[in-house]
Amino acid sequence: MPSLGIAPLLDAYFRRRFAAAGLVHSSIPLDGGATTIQCWRFPPLPNAAAAAAIDDPRPVLVLLHGFGPPATWQWRRQVGPLSSHFRLIVPDLLFFGGSLTTTTTTTGAAGDRFSEARQAEAVVKLVAAVVGTPPATARVFVVGTSYGGFVAYHVARLMGAEAVERVVIASSDLLKADADDRALLRRAGGERVEDVMLPRSPERMRRLLGLAYHRPRRFSFTPGFVLRHLAEYLYTDKIEEKKELIKGITLGDKDKFQVTPLPQEVLVLWGEHDQIFPIEKAFKVARQLGANARLEILKNTGHMPQEEDPKRFNEALLNFLLPPPISSL
């Protein structure tokens, strides 16, 4: 990756925001060392005696990022407001950041090491490594945006309602099919989904930003060399593995996997003007997830409402995940 330019400065700033929220960066080995997950997490206690002495009532909240930049770039506006209410675990998914694996799926879920089911297995093992198995003393919530929503769905299924209480699926078309990919390519002017989601030129970077944001005008004036640098910094690492991740998505492919209702309470959260997963898919996803799912639309936002309107996005999360205060009357 390039060592000069604005991208490393932004990266350092976003990491400082995570540290300011009280999170620490950890490298967690899984699968006997065959898998390594890089994550930001609530601070570990020094020993078992300290853990026994401190009863932290805050539930565990796992934030799963979408396809593209690492977690620090995608959740930087959430970790501060959420860290006072939750014990946060914010991983880089496999083949993003420093997270890697050489193992294949082990639970019989669809796909191989490049499927979202394999991503979910790693997240489940990460939660167990950080919190314990089973997390009997901790309520666990899972939030996933875009590609991370695919993973969150599988995490909820794998861990079950006895471990995961509530799930947020944000900007994530769990029913994505070939026709949706073709429609995306028409909007993006690309030939392959990986060309759209892994931009390698200033023009493609500008186009992706235009699809991701409802108000992308600020990017219209961004110099080409800045966009080129961002593309090189964010989208060239593990490029072949990320292409395989796109090809390995099984959700929406009825020959490989079918979405069924979740037993947990589910919030489907969507930007009104999403151009990557259009708003009409939000209603279909909510219906498919069953009677426990409800839909909330964030107006005047696109595919990244957590970035475009973090105040309302964070309020939606808190209102759904935290119980209302008990009245004293």
- Model confidence pLDDT, tens digit, residues 19-75: 999 999 999 999 999 999 999 999 987 655 455 546 688 999 999 999 999 999 999
Residue whose structure tokens are 């409800």:
294
Average pLDDT over residues 109-117: 73
How remote is the C-alpha of 226 from its chain's centroid? 25
Q: For the chain, first and last CA: distance in Å?
A: 59
pLDDT-derived band at 285, boundaries 50, 70, 90: very high
Contact 305, 299 (CB under 8 A): no
3-state secondary structure 256-309: CCCCCCCCCEEEEEEECCCCCCCHHHHHHHHHHCCCCEEEEEECCCCCCHHHHC
Instruction: With a cut of 90, say whether residue 284 has pLDDT above it.
Output: yes
- Model confidence pLDDT, tens digit, residues 129-173: 999 865 555 789 999 999 999 999 999 999 999 999 999 999 999
Strand 35-41 relative to strand 87-91, pairing: antiparallel
How remote is the C-alpha of 105 from its chain's centroid? 20
- Domains of the chain with CATH codes: 6-44+56-178+244-321 (3.40.50.1820)
pLDDT of 110 reads: 41
| Angle formed at CA 168 by CA 12 and CA 30, multiple of 5 degrees | 60
Average pLDDT over residues 89-105: 90
Distance CA 1, CA 235 (A): 10
pTM of the model: 0.92
